[in-house]
Amino acid sequence: MPITTLKLLHKEAQDMRRVKVADLRDMVGRASSTELFTFGELQKYALDIAFPALQHAEVFFYYLDDEGEQVRITNDAELKEGIRLMETEGDIFKMVVSGKRQVVDQDATVSFDSECSLALFVDLSRLLDKWECSNDQAPMKKDMTTLLHVPGVQGAMIDMMADAKYTSYFENVSTVIKEGGSVVEGVASMFAGGQLQDMATALMEKCPDIKDLLESIMHAIQVQVHAHQQAKHASSVSQTLPPLPEDPSLVHQLLEFVTGKFFTDLWSLSSDQAGEVMFNCGVSSEQIQALSRESRIRWIAETIIHIQAMNQARKEQKELAEKAAQEAALSSTNHGIMDADDVDSKPSVAFMGDVSFPDGSTVRAGDSFVKTWRLKNDGKTRWPAKTELVCVGGDHLETESSLISIPILPPGKMIDVSVDMQAPSKPARYTGYWRLSTTDGKRFGQRFWVDILVVGNKTTTHELKPPASNEVVLPAAAPQVVGAAAPQNFFPTAVPKTFYAGAAPQVAVAAPEVVSQAPPAPVVVSAPVVVQAAPYASELEALESMGFSDRATNSRLLAQYNGDVSMALNHLLN
């Protein structure tokens, strides 16, 4: 499945960004779409757009594989491998970026300011996360959290915090909250002085796409601040209010028209300003004249509350519709996977061990071999019918592309699963990852792998002959099967003797013809001399192909370990 989305987490700030790959390419200025993105383009997006505070830091990039492990990326080749592996898991490429402060003389001030701004931003983000809001404040908190994760907003806010004016705004509200005040009290203190409106306008200029979301937040803040102020200046007389307008959205436009401000602290409205808003919303002059200033402001506030309720209802209705569509799509692809008695349980797989070719096993280049794993159904339901064994990443060593079917296995039972494989022709280390999967591609259970070390050149005289087909064996006793199968999956220690025993008869067969023409002595003497002069020739060649060029040391180790290449290799590596 091709990667379509990048999720990037700034580890230190705990700030997550999500961007479409196509949008990322546009932002970094690349017109061609022949590949996803390069490592340089990833760095440009992360440092110039997503997390500009890291521009003067030592930055490390990691991707998260399907086991949640972090794998570092330093170049295009490593990025390409990470993308290839994650394409087997879905269409989202998950990454982590970690930055460590690195200050030099010429950028010390810039780096310090960026770091302080980032720290202030993180501090306020955490205060927002810890805010235990009331039910009527929950939509506003959700919108605020969403705003902080919109691409470009964090960078814009950090840039604003580097300005002394905006820094003082944030520090003041942070102080109010930390000294025991609520988030609403902190926001109200900024709203009353016009500071919040000033920041909202500046932020909207930097990020025009957030206009609707920011307006929703500011209108909700208007209501909350008004309620906060009303609690402190409660009117002694409660007056009945006129009906709310049929088109409540007019209130926002009229407030901006009357006050000349995009967002207004409702409590700052004069009686005439509030009356003008009501009159233009269809309230009669007689009704307005009968109301006090506080009641007029309360009518405007309740109209805004009504708008917020309508918007929230639309939002919830949309979310429910999307959820229902997802569930319908999921159910349409699930039928036939499990039997009726298995619906409430998910299949599970536990890797019990390698029956053949454990990790690091040595295989000669081009040789065929059979890899066998021992698996256990550790779940509460039997495995689905038509379960398949599939390669989900790494190196594909299987010899055939045909599907490998796995039988239904009851809970608690074990099974040996085998795959015909062939070592590549180039000496190196190869690893392939495998999992069980349903017929529609839903993988389940633990991931397991084949990990081999390919040595030497491809030979045709000593091929390991695999079985005619992939076989699945239910072992009667696991320890006995493992013990019996293991020896046939390693290079035999007597390979050198077998090889030269096979070579000697070739000389002997030719000998009678030579004897009839000439004395036999030269032929008989020369063949043994060649064999004795180069013991373990193929094994020496294998070690040299891996970069170990000290032939004397290699010969000594092969003699010490009776020609066992893997033992000699372990000695050289340690």
Domain boundaries, the chain: 5-102, 350-489, 495-573
Mean pLDDT of 318-323: 83
Q: Confirm or reject CATH 3.10.20.90 for domain 5-102, answering yes or no.
A: yes
The confidence score (pLDDT) of residue 436 equals 93
Under the banding of pLDDT at 50, 70 and 90, the label for residue 503 is very low
Under the banding of pLDDT at 50, 70 and 90, the label for residue 135 is confident
Under the banding of pLDDT at 50, 70 and 90, the label for residue 318 is confident
Under the banding of pLDDT at 50, 70 and 90, the label for residue 483 is very low
94 pLDDT above the threshold of 70: yes
Contact status, residue 88 vs residue 393, Cβ threshold 8 Å: yes
The model carries a pTM of 0.34
Which homologous superfamily does the CATH classification assign to the domain defined by 350-489? Answer: Immunoglobulins (2.60.40.10)
The confidence score (pLDDT) of residue 269 equals 81
Least confident of 10-19, 176-185, 344-353, 471-480: 471-480
**Per-residue pLDDT tens over the stretch 432-455:** 999 999 888 888 988 999 989 888
The confidence score (pLDDT) of residue 485 equals 40
Copy the structure tokens of residue 316. Answer: 């919830």
Q: Which residue has the tokens 């919109």?
A: 150
Q: Which residue has the tokens 């019990």?
A: 352
Contact status, residue 295 vs residue 239, Cβ threshold 8 Å: yes
Helix or strand run (H / E) with residue 335:
none
Q: Which residue has the tokens 């295009």?
A: 76
457 pLDDT above the threshold of 70: no
The confidence score (pLDDT) of residue 161 equals 72
Task: Give the whole-angstrom CA distance, residue 163 versus residue 120.
Answer: 12
Under the banding of pLDDT at 50, 70 and 90, the label for residue 178 is low
Q: What is the mean pLDDT of the chain?
A: 74
Mean pLDDT of 336-345: 44
Task: Give the whole-angstrom CA distance, residue 55 versus residue 221.
Answer: 34
Mean pLDDT of 10-32: 80
The confidence score (pLDDT) of residue 337 equals 43
Mean pLDDT of 524-540: 59
Residues 6+ apart with CB under 8 A from 394: 85, 430, 431, 432, 433, 449
Task: Give the whole-angstrom CA distance, residue 263 versus residue 572.
Answer: 73
The confidence score (pLDDT) of residue 213 equals 82
Task: Give the whole-angstrom CA distance, residue 119 versus residue 127.
Answer: 12
The confidence score (pLDDT) of residue 449 equals 92
Q: Give SS3 for 260.
A: coil
The confidence score (pLDDT) of residue 307 equals 77
236 pLDDT above the threshold of 60: no
Mean pLDDT of 211-222: 78
Listed ranges 140-154, 188-202, 229-243, 515-529; the one with the highest mean pLDDT: 140-154
The confidence score (pLDDT) of residue 53 equals 79
DSSP string of 449-482?
EEEEEEES---SSS-----SS--EE--SSHHHHH
DSSP H stretches of helix in 131-281: 138-148, 153-161, 164-178, 183-192, 195-206, 211-232, 250-259, 271-280
| Proportion of the chain above pLDDT 70, given as a percent | 70
The confidence score (pLDDT) of residue 414 equals 92
Residue 32, judged by CB atoms within 10 A of its CB (0-12, 13-18, 19+), counts as exposed
